[in-house]
C-alpha cells in the first residue's frame, strides 16, 4: 500500500551564476550521482528528488535548475512565482559569484518569488578548500541578513547535499505548503521544526 503522503509535491528553484554547480547539486540529490563533465543548463531543467522527512513523511521535491546566463532571465523569472523554495547557490572559490547573489539574484528573487517561499543559501565546492575566496562567516552573514539557513556543500564529495535539501523540504512543508495548499493534510500542518523562519529581506 502506498504511503499516505507519497503524493505531496514540493518545489524549489535553484538560482545563481553559471558554473556554480547548481546542476551537479540537483543531480546529486535526485539521482545520487556526480559527473565531472560540465553540465550546461539552457533555460530550466527539472528533476525530482524523493525524500523521507521527519515523522516518516515522504515527499517529492521538484527541483528547478536554472541557467545562470542573463539572456534567459526573462524565461526563468516565470518559475520563481511557482516555487515554494528559493535556493541561492554560489561557488566558494569565486568571490564574484557570491557578490552576484547580492547584486543580481537576490533582487530577482525578491521581485518574482512568492512572498511565502522559504529561502536557503548554499556555498558549493567546499572540497576545493585551497582555492576558497569566500569565508564561511561571509556566507552566514548573508544568510542571517536574509533570515534563512546557510550550508556549505560539495556536490562532488556529496558533503551535506542531502542534509541541505532535507532542511529545505522540511521548512517548505511547515511554512509554505499549508499556505499555498488550503487542503493540505493536518499532519503536514502540524509538523514541528526546531528552526524558526523569517521572510527574506534584501541585504543592503
194: which DSSP letter? S
2 within some domain: no
Say if CB 36 and CB 195 are below 8 A apart.
no
Structural domain count of the chain: 1
Strands lying side by side in the sheet with 85-91: 44-52, 58-66, 8-15, 85-91, 118-124, 150-152
Extract the C-alpha cell encoding 147: 533570515
Q: Are 34 and 158 in contact (CB under 8 A)?
A: yes
**204: in domain:** no
- Cα–Cα dist 196/85, whole Å: 15
Round the CA-based radius of gyration of the chain to a whole number and report it. Answer: 16
Tell me the CA end-to-end span of the chain in Å, nearest whole number.
Answer: 51
Give the CATH number, domain containing residue 140: 3.40.50.300
68 three-state secondary structure: coil
Place of cell 550550508: 151
Residue 168 belongs to some domain of the structure: yes
| β-bridge pairing 150-152 and 118-124 | parallel
Low-confidence stretches of the chain (pLDDT beneath 50): 1-5, 185-200
Kindly give, in sequence order, each residue whose CB lies less than 8 Å from that of residue 147, ignoring residues fewer than 6 positions away.
119, 197, 198, 199, 200, 201
Per-residue pLDDT at 9: 93
Task: Give the model's pLDDT for residue 127.
Answer: 98
pLDDT, position 129: 96
Domain holding 137, by residue range, is 8-190
Residue 200 lies in a domain: no
CB neighbour burial string for 64-92, b if at least 16 within 10 angstroms, e if fewer:
bbbbbeeeebeebeebbeebbbbbbbbbb
Contact indicator for 100, 68 with CB cutoff of 8 Å: no
| 195 part of a folded domain | no
What pLDDT shows up at residue 192?
37
Residue 155 lies in a domain: yes
Report pLDDT digits (tens) over 104-118: 999 999 999 999 999
Q: How far apart are CA 56 and CA 88, in angstroms?
A: 27
Task: Judge whether 14 lies within some domain.
Answer: yes
Taking each helix axis as running N to C, give the angle between helix 161-171 and helix 22-31, from 0 to 180 degrees, rounded to the nearest 10. Answer: 80
For the segment 28-67, what is each residue's pLDDT rounded down to a tens digit?
999 999 887 666 555 567 889 999 887 778 999 999 988 6
Q: Which residues, 6+ apart, have CB-to-CB distance to 141 below 8 Å?
A: none
Q: Is residue 179 part of a domain?
A: yes
Amino acid at each position: 500500500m502506498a504511503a499516505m503522503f507519497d503524493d505531496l509535491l514540493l518545489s524549489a528553484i535553484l538560482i545563481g551564476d553559471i558554473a556554480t554547480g547548481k546542476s551537479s547539486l540537483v543531480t546529486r540529490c535526485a539521482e545520487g550521482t556526480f559527473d565531472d563533465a560540465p553540465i550546461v543548463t539552457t533555460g530550466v531543467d527539472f528533476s525530482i528528488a524523493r525524500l523521507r522527512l521527519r515523522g516518516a513523511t515522504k515527499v517529492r521535491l521538484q527541483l528547478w535548475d536554472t541557467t545562470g546566463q542573463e539572456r534567459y532571465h526573462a524565461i526563468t523569472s516565470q518559475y520563481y512565482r511557482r516555487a515554494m523554495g528559493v535556493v541561492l547557490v554560489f561557488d566558494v572559490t569565486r568571490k564574484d559569484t557570491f557578490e552576484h547573489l547580492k547584486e543580481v539574484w537576490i533582487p530577482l528573487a525578491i521581485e518574482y518569488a512568492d512572498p511565502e517561499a522559504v529561502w536557503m543559501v548554499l556555498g558549493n565546492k567546499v572540497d576545493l578548500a585551497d582555492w576558497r575566496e569566500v569565508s564561511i562567516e561571509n556566507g552566514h552573514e548573508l544568510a542571517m541578513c536574509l533570515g534563512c539557513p546557510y550550508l556549505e556543500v560539495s556536490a562532488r564529495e556529496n558533503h551535506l547535499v542531502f542534509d541541505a535539501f532535507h532542511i529545505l523540504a522540511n521548512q517548505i512543508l511547515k511554512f509554505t505548503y499549508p499556505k499555498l495548499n488550503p487542503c493540505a493534510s493536518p499532519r503536514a500542518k502540524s509538523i514541528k521544526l526546531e528552526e524558526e523562519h523569517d521572510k527574506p529581506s534584501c541585504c543592503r
